[in-house]
Structure 1
C-alpha cells in the first residue's frame, strides 16, 4: 500500500506495548508521536479508533482483574466528561491546554515518586475527580490515560486489576468520543488507510505487553507506571517547545 509511513506504525506498536505495561493505555505516547506525522485533529480521530481495538484486547487478556466499583465510580464521569471535552476541542486553543497537561503530569508523578507513601483513599470523591479530569482531557487533547493512571496508581491496585479496569474505562471513553470526533469532522478519509494496521497493532501490542508484564514484580509496577508518566509529561513539554520555536 502506497504512502504508508511504516516508522509511524512501528512507533505506534512500541507505544501500545509500553501503554499496556504501564496500565494507562497507549494514547499518552501515541498522541505525541502522532503529532509529528499528522495534524492535531487527525491524531484525535485516529487515536479514538485505534484505542477501541487496543482496549478491547486488554479487556480480553486481563478480564479476571476487573474492579467493578472503580469501573462505575471512574468510568461514568469519564464518559460524561469525554463528550464535553470532545465538543470543547473545536472551541478552545489546545496549545495552552497541552502545556498545562504536561506540567500536571510532571508535577504529580514527581510528587508520588518522591513521596512514595502518599495514597488516596479509595472513595467515590477521589474516583469521580480522577475520572472527570481524565475523561475531559481525553476528549479535549486525545489523551487522558496518564491522569487516570495517576488516580489509579494512588489507589495502589494490583497490576492485573489496574490494567483490566483502566482498559475497560478507556474503551467506554473511546466508544463515546469516536462519535463526537466523527461529528466534529476529525476522522478524515485520507487517514483511513492506517486503520487496519492500527487495529492489528492494538492486539499485537497488548499481547506483547502482557508477556513482558509477567517479568515485572508488583512492588516495582507502581513506580514504573509513574516513571512512564513523568517521561510522557517531559516529552509533551519538549514537543510543545519545539513546535513554538519552529
Structure 2
C-alpha cells in the first residue's frame, strides 16, 4: 500500500468518526485527499459511496432517534434536487457555486458563535428551503452536509436526534445521486475495488464516533458543528481560488 493510499484510508476512518458527532464533514474532509490519487470527478463519486455507507451504519445505531417530520419535510426536496444536481454534474461549472456556498456557511457559523441563542425560524418552510439547497449541493458539489447541518443544528432537537435525522436524510440523498452517477458511469471500473475496504473503514469509524457522541454534551456538538463549518468554508474558498 502506498503512503498516499494509507493516508486516504486513515483520513476515511477519521472522517467517519468525526461525522458521527457533527453529522457532516465526511465528503469535505475526504474529497481533497481522494483527489491526490484520483481526478476530482472520480474522487467526488468514490467519496459518495463512502458517505453512503458511513451514514447507513450511523442510522443503524441511532434510528430510534429520527425525527420523522423533519426527515420528510427536509428529505423529499433534498432527494429531488440531489437528482437534479447529479444530472447537471457533468454539464455545469461548479466553481462559483462553491464560493457562494462557502461564504454563506462561514457567515452563518460566525454569527451563530457570536449569538449562541440564534436559531433559524422553526418552520416547515425553513426545512424545505434547507432540503432544496443541500440536495442541489449534494448532486453538484458532493458537499451537502454543511448546508444540512446549518439548518438542523438551529432546531431544538437533541444531539442524538440531530445526528440520526441527518443520517436518514443523507442515506436517501446518497442513494439518489449514486444511482445517477452509476447510470452515467462516472466511476471508472478500475476504481471500484476501493469500495470494499471503504465499507469496513466506514463501519469502524462510525462505531468509534457514535460511542463518543454518547459522552459529550449537546453544547459541545453544536460548537463542533459551527467550528467545522468555518473550517470547511475556508477550505472550499482556498481550493477554488488556487
Q: Once the 2 structures are TM-superposed, how far is the Cα of residue 168 of structure 1 from its aligned partner?
A: 0.6
1:75-224 equivalences in 2 (<5 Å): 75-224=75-224
Q: Once the 2 structures are TM-superposed, how far is the Cα of residue 197 of structure 1 from its aligned partner?
A: 1.2
SS in 2 for 1:36: coil
Q: Once the 2 structures are TM-superposed, how far is the Cα of residue 2 of structure 1 from its aligned partner?
A: 7.8
Q: Once the 2 structures are TM-superposed, how far is the Cα of residue 122 of structure 1 from its aligned partner?
A: 2.6
Structure 1, unmatched stretches of 5+, are: none
Moved over 4 A (4+): 1-4
Q: Once the 2 structures are TM-superposed, how far is the Cα of residue 201 of structure 1 from its aligned partner?
A: 1.3
**Aligned-partner Cα distance in 1 for 2:99–2:25:** 20
Q: Is the 8 Å Cα contact of residues 4 and 37 (structure 2) preserved in structure 1? A: no
Aligned length: 242
**Aligned-partner Cα distance in 2 for 1:118–1:4:** 41
**Aligned-partner Cα distance in 1 for 2:224–2:126:** 22
Which residue of the partner structure matches residue 59 of structure 2?
59
SS in 2 for 1:5: helix
* Change beyond 3 A, Cα 1:25–1:64: farther
Which residue of the partner structure matches residue 41 of structure 1?
41
Q: Once the 2 structures are TM-superposed, how far is the Cα of residue 185 of structure 1 from its aligned partner?
A: 2.5
**Aligned-partner Cα distance in 2 for 1:47–1:167:** 16
Q: Is the 8 Å Cα contact of residues 19 and 25 (structure 1) preserved in structure 2? A: yes
Q: Is the 8 Å Cα contact of residues 82 and 135 (structure 2) preserved in structure 1? A: yes
**Aligned-partner Cα distance in 2 for 1:224–1:119:** 16
TM-score for both structures, normalised by structure 2: 0.94
**Aligned-partner Cα distance in 1 for 2:21–2:196:** 23
Q: Which shows bigger deviation, 136-145 or 211-220?
A: 211-220
* Change beyond 3 A, Cα 1:4–1:32: closer
TM-score for both structures, normalised by structure 1: 0.92
Structure 2, unmatched stretches of 5+, are: none
Q: Is the 8 Å Cα contact of residues 70 and 127 (structure 2) preserved in structure 1? A: yes
Give the CA RMSD over aligned residues. Answer: 1.7
**Aligned-partner Cα distance in 1 for 2:223–2:8:** 28
Q: Is the 8 Å Cα contact of residues 43 and 142 (structure 1) preserved in structure 2? A: no
